C-alpha cells in the first residue's frame, strides 16, 4: 500500500468520526433544548399548588419536603441542597416558615420570598422567647406566624409574586404563565370574598382554635378566637376539661376548630359540654385526593356550619 493510499484511508476515517461526533452532539443539544424547562423548587404545599397552577407543564416543579412527616421541621440533606443550588428559582413562603434556610447554602439570586412584598401584613406568632449569654444583650427569637396561605388575599399576593418572577425570568412563556395566573387569582379572590361574606354574618361569634396556627385566617375573616395547644390525637383528660370549662365561662363559645379530625371520644365529651368540633385544615401537607383549593372550599363549608346555622 502506497503512502498516498494510507493517507487517503486515514482522512476518510477522520471524516467518518467527525460526522458521527457531530450527530451525537446535535442529538444531545436537541435533548437539552427539548427538556429545558425552568426548574422550580417550592418550600410548602400551597406554594406547590400555586406553582403548578401557574407553570403547568412548562415548569419542572420540585417539592423536596413532600414526603416529610413534619414539613415545618424539615432538614434538607446536602444532595437536596446541591440540586436546589442548580435550580432556576426556589420559592419560599417567608414569615419564619423555612427554619432550615439558616443552615443551608443557597444563592440569594435564586431565592424568592413570596411574602417579601406583604411584610407589613405579616403577623406575630405570639411566640417570643429570648435568651442571652450573660446578663447583657438578650437575643430575642421572635417568630412570625407562617400560615399566610389561610388568608386567600395574601395567598393571591404570594401567587402574584411567583407569577411576576416567572414572567420576568422566562418571557418566552409569558402568555401561558399570565393566563394561568389570572385564572388562579380569580379563583382565589372569589373564594376570599365568600369567606368574608360568611364571617360577616355573625361578627360577635367566638370560637376556640385547637392550635395557634390560624392567625391569618382569624385576621382576614375577622373571626374572634382564642387558641389552645391541643393536638387532634389528644385525649380529653381532667386537666384539659378543666381548661375548656374555664374558657367557656370566660368566652362563651360553642365551637372548637381543630387542625385535624379529633378523637371520637374527645368529640363526644366536648359535645356533652355543648361544644361542637369542626375541622379547618391548615393545609401543611399534600392532601390526599384533593388540593389546596378544594381544601379551602371544605374549610369554607365548615365555617358555614357555624356562621350560617
Partner 1 sequence: MKHQLFLAWKYLQYHWVKTTILILSIAFILFIPLGLNTLSDKGSKDLMARAKSTPLLIGAKGSETELALSGLYFKSNSLEAIPFKTVTEISNTNLGEVIPLNLEYYVKEFPIVGTASSYFKFRDANFKSGRAMAILGECVLGSKAAEVLGIKVGESVISSPKSAFDVSGSYPLKMTVVGILNATNTADDEAVFTDVKTTWVISGFAHGHDNVTETTADSLLLSKTKENAIASPAVLTYNEITPENISSFHFHGNPDAFPVQAIVVNPNSKKDGLILRGRFENRTDNLQIVVPTTVMQELLDTVVSVKNLLLLAAISIGLATLVIVTLVFSLSIKLRSGEIHTMKRIGSSKSAITNILGLEVVLTLALSLVLAVVLVLLLNVFGPYLIKIFIL
Nearer of residues 129 and 274 to partner 1, judged by Cβ? 129
What is the smallest separation between the CB atom of 225 and partner 1, expressed in angstroms? 22
Q: In this structure, which long-range contacts are made by residues 57-64, counting pairs with CB atoms below 8 Å and at least 24 apart in sequence?
A: 58/173, 58/176, 58/177, 59/166, 62/87, 63/286
CB of 138 to partner 1, least distance (A): 6
Number of residues that bind partner 1 (CB under 8 A): 31
> Which position among 102, 204, 235, 274 is part of the footprint of partner 1 (CB under 8 A)?
102
* Residue range at the interface with partner 1 (CB under 8 A); choices 62-70, 105-113, 249-257, 258-266: 105-113
Cβ neighbours of 305 (radius 10 Å): 12
Name the phi and psi angles at 97, rounded to 5. -75, -45
Q: Using the rule CB under 8 A, which residue among 39, 71, 72, 106 binds partner 1?
A: 106
Round to whole Å and give the CA distance between 223 and 251.
Answer: 13
Q: Which stretch binds partner 1 (CB under 8 A): 27-35, 79-87, 225-233, 271-279?
A: 79-87
* Residues of this chain, 122-181, that bind partner 1 according to CB under 8 A: 128-135, 137-139, 141, 168
Cell numbers linked to 103: 443552615
Residues sharing a CB contact under 8 Å with residue 215, sequence separation 6 or more, in sequence order: 123, 124, 125, 126, 145, 147
Q: Transcribe 253-281 into DSSP letters.
A: --EEEESSPPPHHHHHHHHHTT-EEEE--
- For residue 286, the 8-state DSSP code is P
CA of 95: how far to CAs of 145, 148, 277, 287, in Å?
6, 8, 29, 22
Cell of 253: 363559645
| Member of 75, 193, 200, 237 binding partner 1 (CB under 8 A) | 75
* d(C-alpha 293, C-alpha 299), whole Å: 10
User: What pairs with residue 256 in β-bridges?
Assistant: 208, 277
Decide: is 107 part of the binding site for partner 1 (CB under 8 A).
yes
Q: How far is the CB of 307 from partner 1 (least distance, A)?
A: 35
35 vs 130, beta carbon nearer partner 1? 130
Q: Which is nearer to partner 1, 83 or 254 (CB)?
A: 83
Q: Residues 110, 247, 278, 279: which binds partner 1 (CB under 8 A)?
A: 110
Task: Give 257's strand partners.
Answer: 209, 278
- Rounded to a whole number of angstroms, the minimum distance from the CB of residue 178 to partner 1 is 18
Taking CB under 8 A as the criterion, the residue among 85, 193, 200, 290 binding partner 1 is: 85
CB of 84 to partner 1, least distance (A): 8
Interaction of residue 228 with partner 1, rule CB under 8 A: no
| Residue showing cell 365529651 | 269
**Count of positions (residues) in the chain:** 309
Give contact residues for partner 1 (rule: CB under 8 A).
75-76, 78-79, 81-82, 85, 99, 102-110, 116, 128-135, 137-139, 141, 168
Amino acid at each position: 500500500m502506497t503512502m498516498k493510499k494510507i493517507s487517503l484511508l486515514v482522512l476518510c476515517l477522520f471524516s467518518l468520526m467527525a460526522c458521527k461526533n457531530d450527530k451525537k452532539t446535535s442529538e444531545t443539544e436537541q435533548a437539552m433544548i427539548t427538556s429545558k424547562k425552568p426548574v422550580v423548587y417550592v418550600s410548602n404545599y400551597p406554594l406547590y399548588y400555586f406553582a403548578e397552577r401557574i407553570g403547568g407543564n412548562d415548569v419542572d416543579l420540585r417539592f423536596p419536603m413532600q414526603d416529610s412527616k413534619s414539613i415545618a421541621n424539615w432538614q434538607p440533606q446536602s444532595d437536596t441542597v446541591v440540586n436546589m443550588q442548580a435550580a432556576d428559582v426556589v420559592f419560599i413562603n417567608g414569615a419564619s416558615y423555612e427554619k432550615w434556610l439558616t443552615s443551608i447554602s443557597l444563592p440569594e439570586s435564586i431565592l424568592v420570598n413570596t411574602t417579601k412584598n406583604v411584610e407589613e401584613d405579616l403577623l406575630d406568632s405570639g411566640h417570643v422567647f429570648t435568651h442571652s449569654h450573660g446578663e447583657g444583650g438578650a437575643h430575642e427569637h421572635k417568630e412570625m406566624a407562617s400560615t399566610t396561605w389561610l388568608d386567600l388575599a395574601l395567598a393571591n399576593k404570594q401567587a402574584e409574586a411567583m407569577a411576576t418572577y416567572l414572567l420576568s425570568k422566562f418571557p418566552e412563556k409569558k402568555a401561558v404563565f399570565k393566563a394561568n395566573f389570572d385564572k388562579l387569582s380569580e379563583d382565589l379572590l372569589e373564594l376570599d370574598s365568600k369567606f368574608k361574606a360568611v364571617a360577616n354574618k355573625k361578627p360577635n361569634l367566638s370560637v376556640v382554635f385547637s392550635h395557634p396556627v390560624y392567625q391569618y385566617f382569624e385576621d382576614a375573616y375577622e373571626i374572634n378566637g382564642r387558641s389552645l395547644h391541643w393536638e387532634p390525637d389528644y385525649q380529653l383528660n381532667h386537666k384539659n376539661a378543666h381548661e375548656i370549662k374555664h374558657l367557656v365561662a370566660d368566652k362563651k363559645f360553642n365551637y372548637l376548630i381543630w387542625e385535624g379530625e379529633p378523637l371520637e371520644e374527645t368529640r363526644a365529651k366536648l359535645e356533652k359540654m355543648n361544644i361542637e368540633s369542626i375541622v379547618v385544615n391548615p393545609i401543611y401537607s399534600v392532601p390526599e385526593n384533593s388540593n389546596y383549593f378544594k381544601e379551602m372550599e371544605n374549610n369554607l363549608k365548615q365555617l358555614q356550619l357555624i356562621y350560617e346555622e
